[in-house]
């Protein structure tokens, strides 16, 4: 069985079998396990995708900047008879943050959100709607806090022109700023629906973005079993099983609330740990056997 682990093109490194340390470690681990693994770039026109039995969508980190092309490519994979992990339908659904509305309608705790269509205007009324003094405005298709903006009630006029410009390009979502983010964003990792491990990303002082390239820090605390169970409930609501899932959220009154359900290209915090790599391997084998 021939398997490709799919990433994106950055400084030609992935075409040489090297994308980032996590991808390299994972690929080498899977090869050592005896699997026939080939790294590839999702939008490399020279790749003959029909030669693969399985395509593992690992780190196509630029997909959000080429969404139509990316989704068309996924359809091509499926039509070619390639087994795609995560499933194409799951990735398509997860590519637009409107999916959070679907999850909230199932009664699961999600940070509240309203949606602004492309070309619309952010209204002051959202402050009262969410009973907050601070809003978070983010694109419905994005990654890594790209074009994510916070707006205070007192500085609304100063930021509204910038947001209006962004809204000319695509749909956005509006949420209340959640103070609990200052305590960190939890990421629970699941492989084939089974809990593996977690991380806690904490923003630097005075910021809200938890990503390390925005100054955030990462720790690996032992989570409360209750919070693992709560995070796992979001996966149980999905129509298909996933090879990997990262459930990101915050704790509000000791209860997990979802911020993002990452099913396309999340960093998995494997950190070269053989036990975690083994968890991934066992999930992959279970889904392709």
Q: Which of 152, 161, 163 is nearest to 118 (CA)?
A: 163
* pLDDT value at 142 more than 90: no
Quickly count: other Cβ atoms within 10 Å of residue 131's Cβ.
8
The pTM of this model reads 0.91
The pLDDT tens digits of the residues spanning 96-105 come to 999 999 999 9
What is the distance between the alpha carbons of residues 88 and 78, in angstroms, rounded to a whole number? 7
What is the distance between the alpha carbons of residues 186 and 252, in angstroms, rounded to a whole number? 12
Enter the tokens of residue 191. 């492989």
Per-residue pLDDT, 287: 98
Per-residue pLDDT, 207: 57
Per-residue pLDDT, 19: 45
Q: What's the mean pLDDT when you consider all of the chain? A: 92
Per-residue pLDDT, 146: 77
pLDDT band at 178 (very low <50, low <70, confident <90, very high): very high
Distances (CA, A) of 248 to 45, 178, 207, 222, 274: 33, 14, 18, 16, 23
Q: What is the mean pLDDT of residues 89-111?
A: 97
Phi-psi region of 27 (alpha: psi -120 to 50; beta: other; left: phi over 0): alpha
Per-residue pLDDT, 276: 98
Percentage of the chain exceeding pLDDT 90: 82
Contact 139, 170 (CB under 8 A): yes
pLDDT band at 18 (very low <50, low <70, confident <90, very high): very low
Burial 132-142 (b: 16+ CB within 10 A, else e): bebbbbbbbbb
pLDDT band at 143 (very low <50, low <70, confident <90, very high): confident
The pLDDT tens digits of the residues spanning 32-80 come to 999 999 999 999 999 999 999 999 999 999 999 999 999 999 999 999 9
Per-residue pLDDT, 14: 44
Per-residue pLDDT, 47: 96
The residues that bridge with 195 in the sheet, in sequence order, are 190
The pLDDT tens digits of the residues spanning 242-271 come to 999 999 999 999 999 999 999 999 999 999
Per-residue pLDDT, 201: 93
Quickly count: other Cβ atoms within 10 Å of residue 155's Cβ.
11
Percentage of the chain exceeding pLDDT 70: 92
* pLDDT value at 22 more than 90: yes
Peptide bond into 86 cis (omega under 30): yes
Per-residue pLDDT, 161: 87
Per-residue pLDDT, 20: 54
Per-residue pLDDT, 16: 43
The pLDDT tens digits of the residues spanning 186-241 come to 999 999 999 999 999 987 665 555 555 556 789 999 999 999 999 999 999 999 99
Q: Which of 92, 88, 84, 39 is nearest to 288 (CA)?
A: 84
In the chain, what are the domains?
Answer: 2-85 (3.40.50), 99-108+180-288 (3.30.470.20), 114-177 (3.30.1490.20)
Judge residue 222's burial from the number of C-beta atoms within 10 Å of its C-beta, 0-12 exposed, 13-18 middle, 19 or more buried.
Answer: exposed
* pLDDT value at 183 more than 70: yes
Judge residue 105's burial from the number of C-beta atoms within 10 Å of its C-beta, 0-12 exposed, 13-18 middle, 19 or more buried.
Answer: exposed
């Amino acid at each position: 069985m021939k398997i490709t682990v799919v990433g994106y093109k950055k400084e030609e490194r992935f075409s040489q079998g090297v994308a980032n340390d996590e991808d390299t470690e994972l690929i080498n681990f899977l090869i050592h396990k005896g699997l026939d693994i080939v790294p590839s770039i999702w939008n490399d026109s020279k790749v003959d995708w029909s030669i693969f039995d399985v395509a593992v969508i690992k780190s196509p980190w630029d997909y959000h900047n080429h969404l139509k092309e990316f989704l068309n490519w996924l359809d091509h994979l499926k039509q070619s008879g390639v087994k795609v992990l995560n499933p194409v339908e799951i990735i398509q659904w997860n590519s637009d943050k409107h999916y959070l509305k679907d999850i909230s309608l199932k009664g699961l705790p999600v940070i509240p959100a309203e949606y602004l269509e492309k070309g619309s205007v952010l209204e002051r009324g959202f402050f009262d709607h969410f009973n907050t003094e601070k809003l978070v405005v983010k694109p419905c298709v994005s990654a890594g806090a790209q074009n994510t903006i916070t707006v205070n009630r007192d500085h609304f006029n100063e930021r509204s022109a910038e947001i209006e410009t962004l809204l000319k390009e695509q749909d956005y979502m509006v949420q209340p700023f959640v103070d609990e983010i200052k305590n960190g964003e939890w990421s629970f990792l699941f492989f084939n629906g089974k809990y593996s491990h977690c991380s806690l990303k904490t923003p630097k002082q005075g910021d809200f973005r938890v990503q390390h390239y925005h100054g955030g820090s990462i720790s690996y605390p032992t989570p409360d079993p209750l919070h693992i169970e709560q995070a796992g409930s979001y996966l149980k609501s999905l129509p298909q099983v996933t090879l990997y899932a990262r459930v990101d959220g915050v704790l509000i009154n000791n209860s997990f609330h979802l911020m993002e359900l990452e099913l396309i290209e999340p960093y998995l915090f494997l950190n070269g740990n053989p036990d975690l790599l083994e968890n991934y391997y066992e999930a992959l084998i279970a889904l392709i056997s």
